[in-house]
């Protein structure tokens, strides 16, 4: 484990030597923030082109603290890793999970939310899909968004179910509400939020506990000064209660 961490740190350091990212941000006067904009309550792109969400609010505060303007860089989950490697943004936000393949490319700031994957279904089926085995049946229609951890989890755990990859993460839950799909397994916070905004139509399945453990954090380009700045910002927002207030507000927002 120590060897792996050393390899990661040395790798990040070699990349960061090419250019100090925080210095570039300040000299350019812009913080480039990558986000998929399709994951409530963290980040969502409205039809009018405006972004909302808890991580969006945090990004605005971070840019203000750094004294630079905020520039959003659209991406998609299936392309997120490649866009990170291509240096299309300085930090990725919007419910990004700290996964080993991502951490191998660059550091994550301190965790802002601890979660786990749970199923969401129609309220009539809340007592049906209470385990992985209960979902992994030939007659169960499982829907996922493309790329990243939801699709990976579904393909690994539901080989016998009817799996559909729905291209638009913003409307994937409507497929269940409309009866075209049965269930989706995603991060617990998204399950709770979607159940709240589809009140009476969608409900969290009554699982005894989450299927996985995962941590949400901001994915930062390799630069120790930028990482320190983001960590300091996150720590302050969490300790003074502002992050919790922001997240609580967005959890009930439509």
In this structure, what token pair is assigned to residue 147? Answer: 């790329």
- For the stretch 40-73, pLDDT in tens is 999 999 999 999 999 999 999 999 999 999 999 9
Q: Which secondary-structure segment (H or E) carries 242? A: helix 242-251
In 3-state terms the chain splits into helix, strand, coil percentages (rounded to 5) of 45, 20, 35
Contact 62, 218 (CB under 8 A): no
Per-residue pLDDT at 1 exceeds 80: no
Instruction: Indicate if the pLDDT at residue 9 is higher than 70.
Output: no
Render pLDDT for 198-236 as a digit per residue (tens, 0 to 9). 999 999 999 999 999 999 999 999 999 999 999 999 999
Instruction: Identify the bridge partners of residue 45 per DSSP, sorted by sequence position.
Output: 51
Query: What is the value of pTM for the model shown?
Result: 0.82
Whether 108 contacts 102, CB under 8 Å: yes
What number is the average pLDDT over the span 115-137?
98
Predicted local confidence at residue 137, as pLDDT:
98
pLDDT of residue 149: 85
Mean pLDDT of the chain: 92
Q: What percent of the chain has pLDDT over 90?
A: 87
Whether 3 shows a pLDDT value over 60: the answer reads: no
Pairing of strands 69-74, 43-45: unpaired
Q: What is the sign of the dihedral through the CA atoms of 8, 55, 228 and 244?
A: negative
- What pLDDT score was predicted for residue 168? 86
DSSP code string of 7-43 = HHHHHHHHHHTT--HHHHHHHHTEEEEEE-SEETTTE
pLDDT band per the 50, 70, 90 thresholds, residue 116: very high
Please, are residues 41 and 243 in contact by the beta-carbon 8 Å criterion?
no
In whole angstroms, how far apart are CA 131 and each of 47, 50, 117, 177, 195? 36, 38, 11, 20, 19
Q: Binning pLDDT at 50, 70 and 90, where does residue 148 land?
A: confident
For residues 190 and 69, what is the distance between their CA atoms, to the nearest angstrom?
A: 29
pLDDT at position 6: 47
How far apart, in whole angstroms, are the C-alpha atoms of residue 103 and residue 220? 10
Share of the chain above pLDDT 70, in %: 93
Q: Residue 7: what pLDDT?
A: 46
Average pLDDT over residues 26-46: 96
Mean pLDDT across 99-116: 96
Q: Give pLDDT, residue 11.
A: 53
Residue 223 C-alpha from the chain's centroid: 22
Closest Cα partner for 107 from 253, 227, 229?
227
What domains sit in the chain, N to C, each tagged with a CATH number?
A: 2-114+214-251 (3.40.190.10), 117-204 (3.40.190.10)
């Amino acid at each position: 484990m120590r060897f792996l961490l050393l390899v990661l740190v040395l790798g990040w350091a070699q990349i960061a030597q090419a250019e100090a990212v925080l210095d570039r941000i300040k000299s350019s006067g812009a913080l480039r923030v990558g986000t998929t904009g399709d994951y409530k309550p963290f980040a969502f792109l409205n039809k009018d082109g405006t972004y909302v969400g808890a991580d969006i609010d945090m990004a605005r505060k971070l840019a203000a603290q750094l004294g630079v303007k905020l520039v959003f860089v659209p991406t998609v989950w299936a392309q997120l890793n490649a866009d990170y490697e291509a240096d299309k943004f300085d930090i990725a936000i919007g419910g990004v999970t700290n996964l080993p393949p991502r951490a191998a490319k660059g550091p994550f700031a301190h965790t802002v939310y601890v979660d786990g994957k749970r199923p969401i279904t129609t309220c009539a089926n809340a007592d049906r899909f209470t385990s992985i085995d209960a979902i992994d049946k030939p007659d169960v229609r499982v829907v996922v968004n493309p790329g990243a951890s939801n699709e990976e989890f579904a393909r690994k755990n539901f080989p016998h179910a009817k799996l559909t990859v729905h291209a638009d993460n913003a409307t994937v839950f409507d497929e269940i509400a409309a009866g075209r799909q049965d269930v989706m397994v995603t991060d617990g916070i998204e399950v709770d939020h979607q159940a709240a905004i589809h009140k009476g139509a969608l409900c969290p399945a009554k699982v005894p506990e989450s299927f996985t453990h995962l941590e949400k954090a901001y994915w930062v380009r390799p630069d120790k000064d930028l990482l320190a700045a983001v960590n300091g910002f996150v720590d302050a927002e969490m300790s003074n209660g502002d992050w919790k207030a922001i997240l609580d507000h967005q959890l009930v927002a439509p």
